[in-house]
A and B are shown apart, each in its own frame.
Chain A
Amino acid sequence: MYQFNYLRPKSLDEAKKLYENNGDAKFLAGGQTLIPTLKQRLAQPTALIDIGGIAGLAGIKVAGGAIVIGAGTRHNDVAISADVKKSIPALAHLASHIGDPAVRHMGTLGGSIANNDPAADYPSAVLALGADIKTTSRTIKADDFFTGMFETALDEGEIVTEVSFPIPEKAAYMKFPNPASRYAMVGVFVAKTKGGVRVAVTGAASCVYRESAMEAALAKAFTPDAVANIKVSPGNLNSDLHGSAEYRAHLVTVMAKRAVAAAT
Chain B
Amino acid sequence: MTAPIVGAAIRRKEDFRFVTGNGHYTDDINRPGQAYAYFLRSPHAHAKIKSLNVEAARSAKGVVGVLTGKDLAADKIGGLICGWTIHSKDGSPMKAGAHPALAVDTVRYVGDHIAVVIADSPALARDAAEKIEVDYDLLPAVTTPDKAQGSDAPQLHAEAPRNTVYQWELGNKKETDAAFKSPAHVVKLKLTNNRLIPNAMEPRAAIGEYDQGTGAYTLYVTSQNPHVARLVMSAFIGIAPEHKLRVVAPDVGGGFGSKIFIYAEEVVCTWASKKVGRPVKWTAERSESFLSDAHGRDHVTEAEMALDAQGKMLGFRIKTIANMGAYLSTFASSVPTYLYGTLLSGQYALPAVYVEVDAVYTNTAPVDAYRGAGRPEATYLVERIVEEAARQLKMDPAELRRKNFVRTFPHQTPVIMNYDAGDYEASLDEALKLIDYKGFPARKVEAQKRGKLRGLGFSTYIEACGLAPSAAVGSLGAGVGLWESAEVRVTPTGQVEVFTGAHSHGQGHETTFAQLVAGRFGIPLENVEIIHGDTNSVQFGMGTYGSRTAVGMTALVKALEKVEAKAKRIAAHVLEASAADIVLENGEFKVAGTDRKLAFHELALNAYTGHKFPTHEIEPGLKESAFWDPLNFTFPAGCHICEVEIDPETGVTKIVAFVAVDDFGKVINPMIVEGQVHGGVAQGIGQAMLEHGVYDPESGQLLTGSYMDYTMPRADDLPSYKVGLTETPCPSNPLGMKGCGEAGAIASPPAVINAVTDAIGIKEFEMPATPERVWRAINSTKHKSAAE
Contacts and interface: CB of A to CB of B under 8 A. Distances in A.
B709 A241 contact: yes
Contacts, number: 42
Contact of A254 (B650, B708, B712, B776): B650
Interface string B686-728: 0000101010000000011001111110000000000000000
Contact of B775 (A41, A180, A183, A247): A247
A50 to B, nearest CB: 20
Interface in A235-260: 241-244, 247, 250-251, 254
B310 interface: no
B526 interface: no
Contacts of B694: 241
Contacts of B704: 180, 241
B83 interface: no
A180 B711 contact: yes
B771 interface: yes
Contacts of A241: 692, 694, 703-704, 709
A179 interface: yes
Q: Label chain B's interface by main secondary structure.
A: loop
A176 B650 contact: yes
A181 interface: yes
Interface in A179-198: 179-181, 183
A242 B650 contact: no
Nearest to B690: A179
B772 A242 contact: yes
A179 B771 contact: yes
A179 B707 contact: no
Nearest to B772: A247
B287 A242 contact: no
Interface in A111-130: none
B770 interface: yes
A1 interface: yes
Interface residues of B, number: 22
Interface string B120-137: 000100110000000000
B14 interface: no
B211 interface: no
A71 to B, nearest CB: 25
Contacts of B649: 254
Contact of A181 (B127, B650, B709): B709
B534 to A, nearest CB: 34
A243 B708 contact: no
Interface residues of A, number: 18
Contacts of B710: 180
A40 interface: yes
Contact of A1 (B123, B690, B692, B709): B123
**Residue from A1, A181, A183 whose CB has the most chain B CB atoms within 10 Å:** A181
B709 A180 contact: yes
A225 to B, nearest CB: 14
B465 to A, nearest CB: 32
A247 B773 CA distance: 10
Interface string B285-304: 00100000000000000000
A237 to B, nearest CB: 13
Interface in B752-778: 770-772, 775-776
A181 B690 CA distance: 12
B775 A179 contact: no
Contacts of A244: 772
B707 A243 contact: no
Interface string A40-75: 110000000000000000000000000000000000
A141 B551 CA distance: 70
A242 B709 contact: yes
Nearest to B691: A180
A179 B711 contact: yes
A183 B694 CA distance: 20
Contacts of A176: 650, 771
Contacts of A243: 771-772
A254 B287 CA distance: 35
A181 B707 CA distance: 6
A243 B126 CA distance: 35
B475 to A, nearest CB: 44
A242 B770 contact: yes
B61 to A, nearest CB: 11
B707 A40 contact: no
Contacts of B650: 176, 251, 254
Given A180-B711, A181-B707, A40 B287 contact: yes
A1 B130 CA distance: 13
Nearest to B768: A179
A241 B708 CA distance: 11
Nearest to A185: B771
A216 to B, nearest CB: 23
B435 to A, nearest CB: 26
B123 A180 contact: no
**Residue from A41, A179, A181, A247 whose CB has the most chain B CB atoms within 10 Å:** A179
Contacts of B123: 1, 3
A37 to B, nearest CB: 12
A142 to B, nearest CB: 27
A164 to B, nearest CB: 32
Interface string A191-212: 0000000000000000000000
Interface in B648-694: 649-650, 690, 692, 694
Nearest to A240: B709
Nearest to B709: A180
A94 to B, nearest CB: 18
Contacts of B692: 241
Contacts of B126: 41
Contact of B770 (A41, A179, A254): A179
Interface in A1-48: 1-3, 40-41
Given A180-B704, A181-B708, A254-B649, 9 more contacts: A40-B287, A41-B126, A179-B690, A180-B690, A180-B711, A242-B709, A243-B772, A247-B771, A254-B650
9 contacts: A1-B123, A2-B127, A176-B650, A179-B770, A180-B707, A180-B708, A181-B708, A241-B692, A241-B694
Interface of A: 1-3, 40-41, 176, 179-181, 183, 241-244, 247, 250-251, 254
Sorted from nearest, which 6 A-B pairs have the closest CB atoms? A180-B711, A181-B708, A247-B772, A179-B711, A254-B649, A180-B709
